[in-house]
């Protein structure tokens, strides 16, 4: 059908150049944002605010804030009248909201991120957090009721902050100065600062790859401080720059050197505004500080009292939503490559994985799948529909799965004879972002000229759902969806397609592209492109000594953005938006593009339904696409849990999706950096996260891929993926990598009940499945910077090898000698050095994994090729006793796929005084039996009984003090089971 017919006779040109905005949409031009006020670009004379008209209630207070003097109009127009609302949301959460009384500033709608309703009971007199304030000049500070003499958790009083002016800490960037610390609330600039304890431990504020590691640089101990810009952008994983997602939440782990105890708290500023967040300790200051500088919005703070790190994260989740329920198969091994250019390569790859006996749970396809790079299509030549449908059906028959990529941009039909339903139907239903004049905003991505969904549109969810459903009708029966390019990314500046000849811009082509570069310590000039660890019996490791020379990425310089005194397109305050690499050349964009908010994305003056403007909602595009896609999948596959992985994220994204850490590099350094990314996203309530294993950009070598395949097996999301034109890096390509993968995946699948239980706890209580060591051992300062190791839950410690050419690795064992750590593989007790590193053997294909005492782990006894087959097999139980002979654990079990989760069963395990008790509650029927129980830390028994009946089949290993009871046939549905040894 011709497009003109679809729109009742409108010509194709007319359809794309509407003269005015649709009803209900405020069409706002740049000129309407241009202020005649001469901005001072300095907050020194900003007067702050005075509090009055205070009304207290059982839940908190409401008051008016009035500008206390002459407007300073530093980077915008001062707003004279503000309202502050303080709500004691719960025993541990305090909400402080400051907004313009006229309610003209953008605030995140409840329809986008649902927040808890007002509390049903009063916590004002019992909450562990207390709101304190001064009326003139207005300032507030948050203290703990349980520790009111301690330095406040958050303190905006100017007397608590270092004296100003403070000169720039980067002499080339005047924006790094602190001219003063008044509360500033302007239409295009908001500023608020808080004092922090000197050198305190701050985590979060991302998405970022921080050169300082998981712990943020606060400007002490030789650090230079942090400027964290929040502006979503498409960029290949630079250091110390803003990345794909925006997360204005931080966790403070505060250690008291007098008591040697720690308390943790958290602060969320729920805003989608482009922002700079400074962490700094000025010279000679006695305190550190955090300062927020925002180019719009309101101040919407939530404070969390913890007092543990895991509790802070859970309290944050209670506000923005707990993570989605994951299907069990999502924990399997996933495989993808940009460069599986036809169905034959998919088929061959699936067969090669099976032949190598390396479990493959999910086969993915990148944009090679598409016809002319258009969403919701398959190429009729390289991926013929019937054959591709048969391949997906065969995967399903083998209990395997398929996931395709779904980019954010929708191709523009090039003329009236070009029939592309997602575009034509989107135009008909008014689902796309627009220019200020109401015409479609047209940028450029892979298929050529492109439009983007407007997630605020009333018809957009239904249109998006229909497009995904139609794709399945065409034979692409995906099990989940991979969302990419959703910052969103555009390859041109502005609405470059407006008025253009659409047929003159063909789709991008990568044919003939060859990826260059190899990991540190591999010289491709000397050894060729294979990446092998040895060639003709000679090691290819070029570093001397082994592991001693690792390429280090340089820290991004501050002040990359230009400071232009303009308005909506370039606000008066220029945030530190990082540099963007131009797509058409492998060079940095011209200086005029560095830091510009609209570079490689949608222009900030683009318009959305509801009168919203891109500058206000940009950071939420990815999250809103994730929400729409999640809801669409629930509609298409009714009763089944969706599985999504996405790139751009925002608070509440975890309700709808998981995340991969973006376009990383095949470098040893990036394998290490992936750990801090995984730890970060636990804070952000997006626990299903992982890196592109073996690296995306560049070529990997055998040794790095060996180590990385093992490392990622102990992270939540496990996918190997690399770029077009790079050498193949599937795990069967090298024998040693195949061996390492089989070993690691078997351990991962064995641990699936443990992983699954941790994620059930995340979805119901917000507790993080992956934890920094200090989360569990909060009073040990030597752990506060550790980000080369991590804990799975509380009980599994992972210590990977992160440098080339090594056969040992150093790792710290938390607890300073009070906990017994046992080797996962051998069950031997580790002779650990208290409070310091212990050197562990780490030959190739081996990763160090250790079990904490006091733990009981339900495991799959016989890990199989797929998650389904593994779940059909029997269980085993691993008990690691402490010095007192006690341990405990639990497991959550259901069918692994139903949404909402239905019948389930909870198992609780208790061990003490020579007895193991299993308690079982729930409606779900567990068909599989518990066949083996291993108990570590026992003396040789003379008798073993099960429910008072003597057991004959058991063995004892004196070296490990290990009792293994086999041949059991324990019904896990039984209300109580008791195993005893004497």
Q: Which residues are catalytic?
A: 484, 487, 663
Complete DSSP assignment for 58-78: TTEEEEEEEE-SS---SSSPB
Pairing state of beta strands 81-88 and 49-57? unpaired
Burial bucket for residue 212 (CB in 10 Å: 0-12, 13-18, 19+): buried
Distance (Å, whole) CA 636 – CA 652 = 22
Distance CA 293, CA 188 (A): 10
482's tokens: 């991979």
Handedness of CA 521, 523, 527, 532 (dihedral sign): positive
Compute the distance between CA of residue 972 and CA of residue 890 in angstroms, rounded to an integer.
Answer: 12
Residue 275: C-alpha distances to residues 113, 278, 346, 492, 912 (Å): 19, 10, 43, 24, 53
- Count how many Cα atoms sit within 13 Å of the Cα of residue 117 in the half-sphere of its side chain: 2
**C-alpha to C-alpha distance for 905 and 923, rounded to whole angstroms:** 6
Q: Are 443 and 452 in contact (CB under 8 A)?
A: yes
Asked if 106 and 297 count as a contact pair (C-beta separation under 8 A), the reply is yes
DSSP 23: T
Angle at 962 between CA 959 and CA 964, to 5 degrees: 135
Whether the CB-CB separation of 450 and 502 falls below 8 Å is answered with: no
Q: State the first-to-last Cα distance of the chain, in angstroms, to the nearest integer.
A: 81
Residue 942 exposed, middle or buried by CB count within 10 Å (0-12, 13-18, 19+): exposed
Are β-strands 719-720 and 334-335 bridged in parallel, bridged antiparallel, or unpaired?
parallel
Sheet holding 247-256, edge to edge: 49-57, 60-67, 81-88, 93-100, 299-304, 261-269, 247-256, 201-206
Q: Tokens 């944002």 appear where? A: 33
- The answer to whether the beta carbons of residues 855 and 887 sit under 8 Å apart is yes
For residue 445, report the phi and psi dihedrals to the nearest 5 degrees: -135, -155
Q: How many CA atoms lie within 13 A of 558 on its CB side?
A: 18
Separation between Cα atoms, residue 903 and residue 413, nearest integer Å: 48
Report the 10 Å Cβ neighbour count for 792: 19
CB neighbourhood size of 42 (10 A): 15
Query: Quick one: DSSP state of residue 590?
Result: P
Closest Cα to residue 654, out of 577, 578, 716, 719?
716
Residue 45 in contact with residue 12, Cβ under 8 Å? no
| Phi-psi domain of 750 (left: phi exceeds 0; alpha: psi -120 through 50; beta: other) | alpha
Q: How many CB atoms lie within 10 A of CB 545?
A: 9
Query: Alpha-carbon distance 936 to 18, whole Å?
Result: 74
Sign of CA dihedral 774, 776, 779, 780: negative
Distance (Å, rounded) from C-alpha 769 to C-alpha 144?
Answer: 27
């Amino acid at each position: 059908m011709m497009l003109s017919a679809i729109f009742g006779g409108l010509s194709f040109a007319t359809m794309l150049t509407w003269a005015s905005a649709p009803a209900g949409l405020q069409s706002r031009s740049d000129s309407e944002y241009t202020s005649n006020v001469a901005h001072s670009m300095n907050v020194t004379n900003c007067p702050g605010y005075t509090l009055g008209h205070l009304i207290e209630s059982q839940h908190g207070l409401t008051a008016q804030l009035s500008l206390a003097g002459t407007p300073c109009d530093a980077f915008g127009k001062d707003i004279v009248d503000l309202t502050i609302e303080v709500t004691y949301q719960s025993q541990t959460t305090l909400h402080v909201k400051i907004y313009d009384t006229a309610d003209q500033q953008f605030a995140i709608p409840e329809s986008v991120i649902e927040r808890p309703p007002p509390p049903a009971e009063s916590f004002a007199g019992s909450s562990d957090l207390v709101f304190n304030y001064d009326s003139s000049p207005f300032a507030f500070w948050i203290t703990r009721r349980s520790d009111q003499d301690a330095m406040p958790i958050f303190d905006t009083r100017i007397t608590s902050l270092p004296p100003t002016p403070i000169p720039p800490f980067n002499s080339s960037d005047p924006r790094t100065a602190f001219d003063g610390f008044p509360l500033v609330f302007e239409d295009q600039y908001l500023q608020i600062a808080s004092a922090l304890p000197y050198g305190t431990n701050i985590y979060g504020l991302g998405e970022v790859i921080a050169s300082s590691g998981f712990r943020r640089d606060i400007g002490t101990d030789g650090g230079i401080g942090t400027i964290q810009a929040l502006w979503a952008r498409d960029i290949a994983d630079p250091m110390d720059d803003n990345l794909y997602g925006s997360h204005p939440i931080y966790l403070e782990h505060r250690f008291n050197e007098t008591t040697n105890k720690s308390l943790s708290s958290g602060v969320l500023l729920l805003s989608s505004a482009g922002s700079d967040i400074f962490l700094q300790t000025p010279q000679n200051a006695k305190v550190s500080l955090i300062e927020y500088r925002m180019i719009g919005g309101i101040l919407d703070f939530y404070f969390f009292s913890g007092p543990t790190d895991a509790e802070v994260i859970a309290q944050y989740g209670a506000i923005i939503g707990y993570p989605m329920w994951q299907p069990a198969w999502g924990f399997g091994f996933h495989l993808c490559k940009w460069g599986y250019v036809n169905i034959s390569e998919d088929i061959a790859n699936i067969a090669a994985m099976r032949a190598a006996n390396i479990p493959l749970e999910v086969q993915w396809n990148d944009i090679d799948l598409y016809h002319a790079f258009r969403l919701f299509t398959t190429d009729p030549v390289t991926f013929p529909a019937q054959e591709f449908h048969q391949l997906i059906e065969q995967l399903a028959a083998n209990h395997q799965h398929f996931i395709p990529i779904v980019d954010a941009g929708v191709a523009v039909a090039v003329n009236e004879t070009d029939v592309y339903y997602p575009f034509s139907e989107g135009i008909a239903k008014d689902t796309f972002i627009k220019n200020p004049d109401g015409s479609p905003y047209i940028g450029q991505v892979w298929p050529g000229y492109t439009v983007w969904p407007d997630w605020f549109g009333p018809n957009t969810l239904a249109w998006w759902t229909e497009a995904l459903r139609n794709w399945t009708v065409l034979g692409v029966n995906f099990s989940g969806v991979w969302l990419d390019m959703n910052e969103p990314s555009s390859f041109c500046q502005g609405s470059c397609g407006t008025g253009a000849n659409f047929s003159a811009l063909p789709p991008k082509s990568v044919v003939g592209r060859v990826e260059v570069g190899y990991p540190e310590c591999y010289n491709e000039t000397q050894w060729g492109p294979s990446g092998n660890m040895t060639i003709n019996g000679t090691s290819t490791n070029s570093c001397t000594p082994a592991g001693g020379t690792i390429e280090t990425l340089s820290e991004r310089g501050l002040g990359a953005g230009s400071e232009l005194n303009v308005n909506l397109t370039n606000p008066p305050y220029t945030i530190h938006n990082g540099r963007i690499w131009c797509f058409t050349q492998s060079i940095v964009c011209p200086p005029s593009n560095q830091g510009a908010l609209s570079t490689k994305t949608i222009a900030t003056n683009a318009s959305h339904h509801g009168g919203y403007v891109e500058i206000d909602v940009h950071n939420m595009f990815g999250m809103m696409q994730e929400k729409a896609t999640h809801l669409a999948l629930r509609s298409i596959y009714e009763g089944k849990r969706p599985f999504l992985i996405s790139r751009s994220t925002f608070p509440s994204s975890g309700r709808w999706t998981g995340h991969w850490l973006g376009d990383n590099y095949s470098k040893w350094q990036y394998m290490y950096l992936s750990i801090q990314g995984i730890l970060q996203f636990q804070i952000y309530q997006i626990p299903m996260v992982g890196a592109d294993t073996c690296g995306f950009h560049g070529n990997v070598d055998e040794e790095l891929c060996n180590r990385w395949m093992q490392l990622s097996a102990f992270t939540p999301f496990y996918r190997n993926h690399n770029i077009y034109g790079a050498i193949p890096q599937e795990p069967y390509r090298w024998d040693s990598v195949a061996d390492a993968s089989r070993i690691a995946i078997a351990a991962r699948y064995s641990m699936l009940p443990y992983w699954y239980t941790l994620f059930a706890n995340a979805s119901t209580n917000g507790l993080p499945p992956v934890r920094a060591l200090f989360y569990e051992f909060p009073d040990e300062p030597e752990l506060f910077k550790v980000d080369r190791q991590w804990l799975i839950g509380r009980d599994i410690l992972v210590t990977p090898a992160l440098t080339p050419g090594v056969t040992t690795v150093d790792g710290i064992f938390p607890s300073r000698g009070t906990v017994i750590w046992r080797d996962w593989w051998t069950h031997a007790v580790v002779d650990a050095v208290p409070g310091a590193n212990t050197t562990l053997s780490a030959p190739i294909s081996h990763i160090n994994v250790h079990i904490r005492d006091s733990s009981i782990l339900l495991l799959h006894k016989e890990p199989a090729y797929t998650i389904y087959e593994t779940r059909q097999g029997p269980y085993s139980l691993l008990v690691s006793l402490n010095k007192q002979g006690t341990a405990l654990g639990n497991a959550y079990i259901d069918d692994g796929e139903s949404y909402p989760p239905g019948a389930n069963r909870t198992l609780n395990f208790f061990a003490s005084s020579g007895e193991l008790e299993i308690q079982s509650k729930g409606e779900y029927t567990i068909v599989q039996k518990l066949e083996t129980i291993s108990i570590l830390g026992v003396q040789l028994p003379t008798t073993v009984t099960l429910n008072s009946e003597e057991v004959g089949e058991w063995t004892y290993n004196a070296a490990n003090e290990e009792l293994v009871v086999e041949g059991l046939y324990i019904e896990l549905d039984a209300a109580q089971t008791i195993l005893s040894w004497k």
